[in-house]
C-alpha cells in the first residue's frame, strides 16, 4: 500500500476514534506532504511527491520534534517535551525500521566496496548511494562521520 494511502487511512481512523492528539499529528503530516506537492507542481511535476520524498518529509519531521523535545526538556517544559515525543511515535509508524549501529556500519562498508571508494574525495558518492538505498532508515548526520573515518 502506498505511503500516502496509509497516512490517509490512519487519519480517517483517528477521526473515527476521536483521537485528538493523533489526528492533529496526522494532519500536520498531511499538510507537509501537500506543501511539497504544491512546490513540485510549480516546477512542472504534476504527479506530486513520490514515496521516497514522503519518507524524507517524515524523517525531517521526526528529527525536528526530537530537537524540540530536547529544547523543551532543557527549558523545564516537560509537558511540551512529552507532546513532541508523542508526535514522534505517530510519525515513526510510517517510517521504515531504523538500522542498528551494526547494520548501518555494514551498509557503509558495502557502499564503500560498491564504488571502490579509497579517499575522502569519494565521500559524496558513498553518501549518495546510502541515501538512495536507506532513505528513512538511518540518520545521515551520524553516518557521515562513520564514512569519513572509514575513508581517512
Do 3-92 and 101-151 have matching folds?
Answer: no
pLDDT digits (tens, 9 = 90+) for 102-131: 888 888 888 888 888 788 888 888 888 888
Rounded to whole angstroms, the Cα distance separating 30 from 145 reads 33
Where are the chain's structural domains? 3-92, 101-151
Q: Is the pLDDT of residue 26 over 60?
A: yes
Instruction: With beta carbons less than 8 A apart as the criterion, state whether 104 and 143 touch.
Output: yes
Rounded to whole angstroms, the Cα distance separating 79 from 121 reads 45
Q: Which residue has the cell 532513505?
A: 135
pTM of the model: 0.73
pLDDT top residue among 26 and 141:
26
- Which CATH superfamily includes the segment(s) 3-92? Uncharacterised protein YqeY/AIM41, N-terminal domain (1.10.1510.10)
CATH number of 101-151: 1.10.10.410
Sign of the torsion angle spanned by Cα atoms 43, 45, 48, 53: negative
- The DSSP H or E segment spanning 25 is helix 20-42
Nearest CA to 124 out of 101, 104, 102, 140 is that of 140
pLDDT digits (tens, 9 = 90+) for 44-93: 777 778 888 888 889 889 889 999 999 999 999 999 999 999 999 999 89
Rounded to whole angstroms, the Cα distance separating 128 from 113 reads 14
What does the block give as the cell for 6? Answer: 496509509
Amino acid at each position: 500500500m502506498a505511503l500516502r494511502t496509509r497516512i490517509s487511512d490512519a487519519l480517517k481512523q483517528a477521526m473515527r476514534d476521536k483521537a485528538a492528539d493523533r489526528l492533529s499529528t496526522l494532519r500536520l503530516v498531511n499538510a507537509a506532504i501537500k506543501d511539497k506537492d504544491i512546490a513540485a507542481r510549480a516546477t512542472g511535476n504534476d504527479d506530486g511527491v513520490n514515496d521516497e520524498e514522503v519518507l524524507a518529509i517524515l524523517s525531517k519531521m521526526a528529527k525536528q520534534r526530537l530537537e524540540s523535545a530536547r529544547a523543551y526538556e532543557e527549558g523545564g517544559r516537560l509537558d511540551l517535551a512529552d507532546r513532541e515525543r508523542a508526535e514522534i511515535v505517530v510519525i515513526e509508524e510510517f517510517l521504515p525500521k531504523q538500522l542498528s549501529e551494526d547494520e548501518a556500519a555494514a551498509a557503509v562498508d558495502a557502499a564503500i566496496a560498491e564504488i571502490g571508494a579509497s579517499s575522502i574525495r569519494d565521500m559524496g558518492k558513498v553518501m549518495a548511494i546510502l541515501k538512495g538505498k536507506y532513505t528513512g532508515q538511518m540518520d545521515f548526520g551520524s553516518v557521515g562521520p562513520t564514512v569519513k573515518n572509514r575513508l581517512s
